[in-house]
Structure 1
Amino acid sequence: MVASVRLYVAVSLDGFIASPDGGVDWLAPFEDQNLGYASFFEEVGLLIMGRATYDQTASLGPWPYGDKPCRVISRRPLTGALPPGVRRWEDDIPSLITRARDHDDGDTWVVGGARTIALFLHHGCVDQIDMFVIPVWLGLGRPLFPDVPSRLSPSLARVRQHGGGVAQLTYRMRQPFDVRSDLD
Structure 2
Amino acid sequence: MTQARVEPVQPPYAEDIQAAFTRIMPPGVEPLKLFTSMAHNPRVLQRFFAGGLLDHGSISLADRELLILRTTARCDAEYEWGVHAAFYTAKTGFSQAQLADTCRATPDIELWRPEQLALLALADSLHDRSTVDDVLWGRLREHFSDEQLIECLSLVGFYHTVSFLLNGLQVQREEYAPRFPAR
TM-score by length of 2: 0.30
- Whichever structure has more strand as a proportion of its residues is 1
- Whichever structure has more helix as a proportion of its residues is 2
TM-score by length of 1: 0.30
